Structure 1
Amino acid sequence: AVDASWSMAAAERMLATKGAIMSLLVDAYQKRDMVAMVSFQKDRAYLVLPPTSSVERANSALQEIPVGGKTPLAAGLLLSYQVIERELNQNPEIAPLLILLTDGAGNVSLTGAPPRDEALMIADMFHDKQFRSVVINTEHESLDRGLARELADRLAGPCYSLADIRADNLYETVRQELDR
């Protein structure tokens, strides 16, 4: 799931984020894993790439993700959860892994409740189902408010800084999570 809001709009952060995702897509293709991509921005989440093993389709979808607007984090998490549930219903043998790239600063509500509370409630749903997750914190270190870390804690998964996760070690980080 990719946060494509204004807080991600700094060209260097979005470029680094897309580079990290591309590394994951190439690895998934080589391993014949399926990947799906959810983007969230403005007031909703979008399934920009239904589950596929096509790196070409994934790359095309990734390049076309627009950037800007608010951060409907809860909507992105909920759609990701629904995609995973649907895939598990079709193939109970899969071992899903949510890779969430965000600063954790949701500011759009689904129900009128505080956006942060909604996102944390949906994170609890992932935890309750024991879905594995990795949060890659895209917040600049000097501005980090700990929101991505809090979200990772609720998801019961690790949180890494985008500054620390580059293409050369992203593969190892995600592989470790997949091998758990």
Structure 2
Amino acid sequence: MREGREANLVLFCVDASGSMAARKRMTQVKTAILSLLLDAYRRRDKVSLVTFRGAEATVALPPTGSVEVAARLLDELPAGGRTPLAEGLVEAGRLLVRERVRDPRMRPLLVVVTDGRATAGADAVGRSLIAADHLARLGVSAVVIDGETGPLRLGLAAALADRLVADHVPVGEVSAETLTAAVRGRVA
């Protein structure tokens, strides 16, 4: 039994819609998760993944410390469709609450990878901000990796980070290196 050491749970909440270069982004996220799991093994940390696309959010990878399990479950991640950002944030909140019940000493880090452009359902942006407010009330450490590109920038991911009381990291191009650096800088 470990003593005096809380485990980290790094929960990626990733836009798998067609609004960003989804397939390439999902490959980068998978690479980052596997890299973090290799690092985390000796610390007993866990990594999890919630994806959102179409009209729903899915727990694509339940919390695990196993590189083998993650590699198998992340082998084929679907991408494309609209962006149900609010649903992704709500599902991430549910998973974090469940994990807190299982292990109250667990230290969560929520990593939201999005351009902030919620497009699924009525008042998609407004609902995503309400979901962000709920997550902020949970007191979870968070970072928003902002993949917004192009000449017209709406700043929606930055607004989401404000509501989450999260760090905002504008990257334009999401890479495994950017993701792992953002996480490694925030977990002990």
TM-score (norm 2): 0.82
For the residues of structure 2 that align with 1:3 and 1:163, how far apart are their CA atoms? 14
Residue number in structure 2 paired with 1:120: 129
What is the CA-CA distance between 1:120 and the residue it aligns to? 0.7
Cα 1:145–1:19, aligned 2, differ >3 Å: closer, same or farther?
A: farther
**Alpha-carbon deviations, 1:51-93, whole Å to 9, x = none?**
1111122123223111110011111100010000001011111
Residue number in structure 2 paired with 1:54: 66
Instruction: Give runs of aligned pairs for residues 27-176 of structure 1, distance below 5 A.
Output: 27-109=39-121, 112=122, 114-140=123-149, 142-163=151-172, 166-168=175-177, 170-176=179-185
For the residues of structure 1 that align with 2:176 and 2:21, how far apart are their CA atoms? 20
SS across alignment from 1:7: coil
TM-score (norm 1): 0.85
Q: Answer 1 or 2: which has greater strand percent.
A: 2
Q: Kindly, what percent of the aligned residue pairs are identical?
A: 41
**Alpha-carbon deviations, 1:139-168, whole Å to 9, x = none?**
226453211111111111112133577544
Could you tell me whether the CA contact under 8 Å between 1:13 and 1:138 is conserved in 2? no
- The more displaced of 143-152 and 158-167 is 158-167
Cα 1:28–1:105, aligned 2, differ >3 Å: closer, same or farther?
A: farther
SS across alignment from 2:142: strand
Cα 1:90–1:137, aligned 2, differ >3 Å: closer, same or farther?
A: same
For the residues of structure 1 that align with 2:20 and 2:174, how far apart are their CA atoms? 16
Residue number in structure 2 paired with 1:26: 38
The unaligned stretches of length 5 or more in structure 1 are none
Cα 1:60–1:103, aligned 2, differ >3 Å: closer, same or farther?
A: farther
SS across alignment from 2:63: strand
For the residues of structure 1 that align with 2:158 and 2:32, how far apart are their CA atoms? 19
Q: Answer 1 or 2: which has greater helix percent.
A: 1
Could you tell me whether the CA contact under 8 Å between 1:40 and 1:75 is conserved in 2? yes
For the residues of structure 1 that align with 2:137 and 2:84, how far apart are their CA atoms? 22
Q: Which amino acid aligns with 2:51?
A: S
Cα 1:118–1:38, aligned 2, differ >3 Å: closer, same or farther?
A: same
Could you tell me whether the CA contact under 8 Å between 1:101 and 1:136 is conserved in 2? yes
What is the CA-CA distance between 1:103 and the residue it aligns to? 1.1
Paired residue total: 176
